[in-house]
């Protein structure tokens, strides 16, 4: 699979390095903002490796590069404003897109879904990338319906620079069959990501904790999403990836 990565921040760098090191897929190029200081650089240089002959191209130039390099999927770790531009360009070129960015407003997410639904290349919205957290969401949805007398609360812990409340925490709350599930945010140290869901009655308690130890967990999820969307059209979410995985295991 031929991949382009948009956004070489913390997670984007881990993903790019994983693609290069694993050798299972090909990293064709990385994408940056037109005004970025890394525009035109070699990806290997940006990753503090060695020159790889893999360029960093600007958003303005990406359409031609997608075509010239026959890219299958773009994985986007940029920001919501850039994502909407990337989505339009991928749709034009019928290239699959994995959207890993977060904090979309309702209207922005609606626009993204509409673009995905009409795309010949396929778009998967995957702000909650790790495999484990998706299984947590499936589980809490089920127990919230099976245990109507239980109250629920979510605690999320991340590095001190990260803004509360995470999109993932909101998505977990959305899967719980309750009104106004309380969410608490803790910002200390260098947490990569912890989400803790507590379900309690007067007599017993269930606590489910998911923790990402490194951003490799995000990279693994992003690649799984890319492998899922590469031969599909329309709009998809990580729940579709998990259900396809469950079907393969069960069958």
Residues with catalytic function? 158, 162
Does the pLDDT of residue 251 top 80, yes or no?
no
Element (H, E) at 208: strand 205-212
Element (H, E) at 245: helix 238-250
In this prediction, residues 71-98 reach a mean pLDDT of 96
pLDDT > 90: percent of the chain: 84
Which pair of structure tokens corresponds to residue 66?
Answer: 């997608």
With cut-offs at 50, 70 and 90, classify the pLDDT of residue 45.
very high
125 close to 236: Cβ distance less than 8 angstroms = yes
* Closest to 220 in 3D by CA, of 35, 49, 17, 38: 17
pLDDT single digits (tens) 82-95: 999 999 999 999 99
* Closest to 166 in 3D by CA, of 206, 135, 130: 130
Burial 18-45 (b: 16+ CB within 10 A, else e): bbbeeeebbbbbbbbbeeeeebebbbbe
With cut-offs at 50, 70 and 90, classify the pLDDT of residue 44.
very high
Q: Rounded to an integer, what distance in angstroms lies between the CA atom of residue 76 and that of residue 100?
A: 6
Overall pTM > 0.85: yes
Domains of the chain (ranges plus CATH)?
A: 2-129+216-250 (3.40.50.720), 131-212 (3.30.360.10)
First CA to last CA distance, the chain = 26
């Amino acid at each position: 699979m031929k991949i382009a990565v948009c956004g070489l921040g913390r997670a984007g760098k881990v993903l790019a390095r994983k693609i290069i090191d694993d050798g299972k897929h090909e990293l064709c190029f990385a994408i940056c903002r037109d005004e970025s200081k890394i525009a035109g650089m070699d990806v290997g240089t940006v990753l503090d490796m060695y020159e790889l002959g893999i360029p960093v191209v600007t958003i303005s130039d990406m359409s031609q590069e997608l075509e010239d390099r026959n890219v299958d999927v773009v994985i986007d770790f940029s920001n919501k404003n850039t994502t909407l531009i990337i989505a339009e360009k991928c749709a034009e070129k019928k290239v699959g897109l994995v959207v890993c960015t977060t904090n979309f407003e309702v209207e922005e997410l609606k626009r993204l879904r509409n673009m995905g639904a009409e795309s010949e290349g396929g778009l998967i919205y995957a702000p909650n990338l790790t495999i484990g957290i998706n299984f947590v969401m499936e589980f809490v949805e089920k127990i919230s319906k099976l245990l109507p007398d239980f109250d629920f609360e979510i605690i999320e812990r991340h590095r001190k620079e990260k803004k509360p409340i995470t999109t993932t925490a909101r998505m977990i709350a959305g899967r719980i069959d309750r009104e106004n599930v309380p969410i608490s945010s803790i910002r200390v140290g260098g947490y990569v990501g912890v989400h803790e869901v507590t379900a309690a009655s007067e007599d017993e308690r269930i606590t489910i904790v998911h923790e990402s130890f490194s951003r490799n967990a995000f990279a693994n999820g992003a690649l799984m999403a890319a492998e899922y969307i590469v031969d599909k059209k329309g709009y998809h979410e990580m729940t579709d990836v998990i259900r396809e995985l469950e079907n393969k295991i069960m069958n």
